[in-house]
């Protein structure tokens, strides 16, 4: 049984509880981060903390949480649960208050909890074989840059993709590819690597940022601009990035095979470079 963290306490997972009045339950009024763990070390932790601060600031959460405290309980959870490879999930909600649409009390104590989950990251099947994605309308709100726990639509979209024999869904607005249900979308055409600019319509991925730097280190050309579904279906290579997928090839988009239907050479090189840098900088 896992040990989890709730508001300063380490508890057995079946003893961990939060209030039914927590605003994360009633309004999804909470933000989260997922940090991957490889060889018991945290990947890109500092950047996850920067994004966490930003998400909390955008939602006007009153209290800032100290990064050293967060690092301490992440490390303790990894240790207590002997987590070699997987993730630490962290969620911070505005807190517990009587149900009301208007937020009148700005002094609520945030609810903070975290837990570990084992997951194969370095040697994942998806990374070896590549994944198939279908497309779906992007029906999310227009503040996708805030990492809130309002995840019902992406969860339904991913489930629908599984039912239809795909591994994930890419969300489309006005013919343009926004992102995957929990990852950023990329294509490569004529040796140019394309990913959409980050604005209010997608989440600025931590891995996206790191992979952009990897591409520069490999002297590849990266262009951050929108691309359409038609562009994606005629691309030479395609891939996704996220904290747990790292760089994972996309080999099919709807009924179109991407390139020769196998993980592409640029994608493989980017994955290798990302793994090298991520493990070097893990803490
Ligand atoms: N977009 C969305 C919608 C996501 O949920 C995620 C995963 N958190 C990402 C992109 C990738 O972000 P990161 O690289 O920070 O995991």
Domain residues of the chain, as ranges? 3-118, 125-281
3 state SS of 188: strand
Selected catalytic residue, list 147, 164, 219, 262 = 147
- Closest-CA residue to 183 (of 116, 243, 139, 138): 243
Q: Return the CATH class of domain 125-281.
A: alpha beta
Q: Whose CA is nearest to atom 4 of ligand 1?
A: 182
pLDDT tens for each residue of the chain, 283 residues long: 999 999 999 999 999 999 999 999 999 999 999 999 999 999 999 999 999 999 999 999 988 899 999 999 999 999 999 999 999 999 999 999 999 999 988 789 999 999 999 999 999 999 999 999 999 999 999 999 999 999 999 999 999 999 999 999 999 999 999 999 999 999 999 999 999 999 999 999 999 999 999 999 999 999 999 999 999 999 999 999 999 999 999 999 999 999 999 999 999 999 999 999 999 999 9
User: How many angstroms is it from 45 CA to the middle of ligand 1?
Assistant: 14
How many residues are present in the chain? 283
- Say what the pLDDT of residue 105 is: 81
User: How many angstroms is it from 202 CA to the middle of ligand 1?
Assistant: 9
- Say what the pLDDT of residue 107 is: 85
Place of tokens 């790292």: 246
Greatest CA separation for the chain: 57
135 close to ligand 1 (CB < 6 Angstrom): no
201 close to ligand 1 (CB < 6 Angstrom): no
245 close to ligand 1 (CB < 6 Angstrom): no
User: How many angstroms is it from 152 CA to the middle of ligand 1?
Assistant: 15
Decide: 64 and 99 in contact? Cβ < 8 Å.
Answer: no
- Say what the pLDDT of residue 248 is: 98
Q: How far is CA 122 from the centre of its chain?
A: 16
- Say what the pLDDT of residue 243 is: 97
Q: Return the CATH class of domain 3-118.
A: alpha beta
- Say what the pLDDT of residue 273 is: 97
- Say what the pLDDT of residue 225 is: 95
- Say what the pLDDT of residue 63 is: 85
- Say what the pLDDT of residue 194 is: 97
CB atoms within 10 A of CB 61: 21
Q: Is 276 a catalytic residue?
A: no
Decide: 105 and 119 in contact? Cβ < 8 Å.
Answer: no
148 close to ligand 1 (CB < 6 Angstrom): no
């Amino acid at each position: 049984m896992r040990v989890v963290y709730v508001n300063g306490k380490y508890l057995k997972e079946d003893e961990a509880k939060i209030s039914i009045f927590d605003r994360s339950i009633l309004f999804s009024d909470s933000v989260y981060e997922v940090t991957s763990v490889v060889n018991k070390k945290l990947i890109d932790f500092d950047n996850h903390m920067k994004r966490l601060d930003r998400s909390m600031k955008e939602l006007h959460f009153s209290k800032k949480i100290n990064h050293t405290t967060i690092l301490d309980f992440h490390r303790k959870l990894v240790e207590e649960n002997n987590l070699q490879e997987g993730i630490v999930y962290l969620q911070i909600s505005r807190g517990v208050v009587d149900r009301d649409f208007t937020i009148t009390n700005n002094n609520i104590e945030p609810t903070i909890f975290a837990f570990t989950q084992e997951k194969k990251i370095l040697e994942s099947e998806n990374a070896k074989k590549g994944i198939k994605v279908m497309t779906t309308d992007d029906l999310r709100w227009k503040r996708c840059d805030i990492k809130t726990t309002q995840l019902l639509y992406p969860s339904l979209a991913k489930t629908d993709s599984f039912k239809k024999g795909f591994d994930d869904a890419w969300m489309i607005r006005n013919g343009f590819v926004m992102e995957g249900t929990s990852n950023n979308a990329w294509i490569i055409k004529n040796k140019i690597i394309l990913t959409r600019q980050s604005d209010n319509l997608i989440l600025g991925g931590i891995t996206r940022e790191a992979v952009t730097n990897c591409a520069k280190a490999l002297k590849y050309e990266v262009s951050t601009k929108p691309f359409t579904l038609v562009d994606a279906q005629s691309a030479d290579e395609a891939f996704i990035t996220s904290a747990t997928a790292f760089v994972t090839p996309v080999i099919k988009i709807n009924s179109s095979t991407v390139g020769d239907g196998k993980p592409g050479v640029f994608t493989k090189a980017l994955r290798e470079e990302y793994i090298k840098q991520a493990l070097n900088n893990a803490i």
